[in-house]
Amino acid sequence: MAIWIEEDAKVLVQGITGKQGMFHADKMVEYGTNIVGGCTPGKGGQTVELQGKQYPVWNSMTEAITTTNADATVIYVPPPFAAEAIMEAADAFDSVKGEGVIVCITEGIPTLDMVKAVAYVYNRPGIRLIGP
């Protein structure tokens, strides 16, 4: 089995300003994940506090990856927006780095949205999608 990311990988959180995003990101930091910031459209320039430390928020994944050189992203957005978040991350990783790992645990994503998102990721050989 291949290792897709290293233990010290730089991780972004899509949906970091939402209830689920903040909860899970806080736990991730508590358990040692190297979170470098988050992405929530319309909330760029803000910061969120996780475990007593401030993390920046960007409007777009391209901006976030360019700034942080992130290796992976985890997606905590509602089902109607998850497939679009996956495709935005795939496009950003592909254009900025040529590789990246996307993790999405969102349940209830519309089937046709996921068919489109999986095909989108499949056409970008350096990008890996884990879940949902």
Instruction: Give the residue extent of every domain in the chain.
Output: 10-130
* Residues 99, 76: Cα–Cα separation, whole Å: 21
Q: Tokens for 126, please give them.
A: 């350096």
Please identify, in words, the CATH class of the domain defined by 10-130.
Answer: alpha beta
Instruction: Tell how far CA 45 is from the center of its chain.
Output: 17
Asked if residues 114 and 83 have their Cβ atoms less than 8 Å apart, the reply is yes
Asked if residues 12 and 70 have their Cβ atoms less than 8 Å apart, the reply is yes
**Residue 1 vs residues 4, 74: alpha-carbon distances, Å:** 9, 21
Residues of the chain with pLDDT > 90, as a percent, come to 90
pTM above 0.75, yes or no: yes
Instruction: Tell how far CA 113 is from the center of its chain.
Output: 17
Is residue 1's pLDDT more than 50? Answer: no
Average pLDDT of span 73-84: 96
Among 13, 7, 5, residue whose Cα is nearest residue 68? 13
Is residue 79's pLDDT more than 70? Answer: yes
